[in-house]
Structure 1
């Protein structure tokens, strides 16, 4: 008879055991966390992201607001499942309602997600969380400034001419490329190590901005690097030729591709580090257009004026769009689309975050 209470207790434990751990596959759940975009806002290792980390989540007491009433709850499997299906039911203190979009999915997928989060959300390992103190925003700002000012400074006639006299044109281009590449690599590593400091919580609709803008950016990039253009490096002699293709639309197509890339990624990334990185790239692209126009005007003299009069810095400002697209041809459109599709599929593997909204 004494065994009955023990058996009853064991049966009760089995009934109350987390269903996700029995039915869900944590490995499949981790795949879904990336596919559904959850990994874009929640880290697995305690590092800073827009949303709370999954590490150490299970069993943690959380202050939430439920139906406009504050309360404390313990993060268990039921809470995790509810947060997936009804993200606005329990809003964690410090976060706005609607920040996490609801996910329409099959019940089996919910089980997989819960199982993965429960597995990741066990007790955190001792020591500082990864990525939280590896870098600083000051280092990122310095790296970004070196990247932007290095480009403009080394391209200015004040520095460029004496350096070419000492190093030759090819020698200067080699040194220029090495220094700019080094600054770029430093900026990327500084960005990855920088802490997350939120300036605004990006609405869900902002995730569609890069998806819409990036095909245009790829189109400008492909056309810009495959069309003769006196604004491009070492193509100054083309200033006397009639503008063709994308140059009829803008004389700085490649720089516009980088400007669009940077600007499109600012709204969905409302943190200081992202604004520094993407804002720096966009600023360099826009400043580069003005800088190149000024430098070409000085270097080419009267030969620059007819070309500048037939083209524009701002896209589509001079008209002639129909003729421009006819000269661009279908091949460049196809290449741009293929690059865009490749970016959509490879973004998570390369960047660590899905490009899909």
Structure 2
């Protein structure tokens, strides 16, 4: 019973991402709310459920697997601004090869952020999950962030496979030829992002750093 809230929160969070797509609910809501409206509603619900599952992990019985070290806190504080930058450079950018991007304006020869890495949002989730698992070495958090990391890693291969089947192998290879699943494995040298998204990333990162203690209940500072 001590684990009940964590298990329920985790199952609800996972179901909220799987059920809409598998059941056809997503398509119905997109046609009703529009893609932007659905994205906004789904984003808010996802953030609230993410807060719940993280809070539930903190209330689960503490079973230590490894001890936290000070260098782990330094590492996560160095990495998280890069994670936020990757997110802000990705959302709405020309990249039909992964979710969060758009088809309009995409040039396979100069793929933009997709030339840095094909699935930037999933890489952001993967890095976020791994560094948070590192600094939270108890069983509940290892399960939580380990599942997020697994979801991100498997999701990259699943999206590639789905688009290859949808477009056909030749079209997929043409569109993905200058990209890579590994960071900086594609044509990233031609990428010239503007200043607005990095500035937004810094502002959001600073806000999250400030809100981490009152919202999550733990200071992220070393």
Is TM (by shorter chain) over 0.5? yes
| 1:310 matches 2:175 | no
CA deviation profile, 1:8-37 (whole Å, cap 9, x unmatched): xxxxxxxxxxxxxxxxxxxxxxxxxxxxxx
| 1:137 matches 2:3 | yes
Moved more, 181-190 or 307-316: 181-190
Give the alignment of 1:136-175 within 5 angstroms: 136-148=2-14, 151-152=17-18, 154-155=20-21, 159=22, 167=28, 169-171=30-32, 174=38
Give the alignment of 1:193-342 within 5 angstroms: 193-230=59-96, 231-232=98-99, 235-236=102-103, 242-301=109-168, 302-318=170-186, 320-324=187-191, 327-342=192-207
CA distance in 2, matches of 1:184, 1:332: 24
Contact 2:68 2:136 in 1 (8 A): yes
| Secondary structure of 1:305's aligned partner | helix
How many angstroms does 1:307 deviate by?
Answer: 1.5
How many angstroms does 1:148 deviate by?
Answer: 3.8
CA distance in 1, matches of 2:202, 2:101: 28
CA deviation profile, 1:194-213 (whole Å, cap 9, x unmatched): 22221121222211121111
Displacement over 6 Å in runs of 4+: 237-240
**Bigger strand share:** 1
Structure 2's unaligned 5+ residue stretches are none
Question: Kindly tell me: are residues 169 and 352 of structure 1, through their superposed partners in 2, closer, same or farther at Cα, counting changes over 3 Å?
Answer: closer
CA distance in 2, matches of 1:264, 1:280: 13
CA distance in 2, matches of 1:138, 1:269: 20
CA deviation profile, 1:308-356 (whole Å, cap 9, x unmatched): 22211121112x43322xx113332222222223333332222222211
- Work out which structure has the larger RCO, using CA pairs closer than 8 Å and 6 or more positions apart in sequence: 2
CA distance in 2, matches of 1:202, 1:163: 42
How many angstroms does 1:238 deviate by?
Answer: 6.2
How many angstroms does 1:141 deviate by?
Answer: 3.8
Structure 1's unaligned 5+ residue stretches are 1-134
Question: Kindly tell me: are residues 339 and 285 of structure 1, through their superposed partners in 2, closer, same or farther at Cα, counting changes over 3 Å?
Answer: same
How many angstroms does 1:259 deviate by?
Answer: 1.3
Contact 2:94 2:103 in 1 (8 A): no
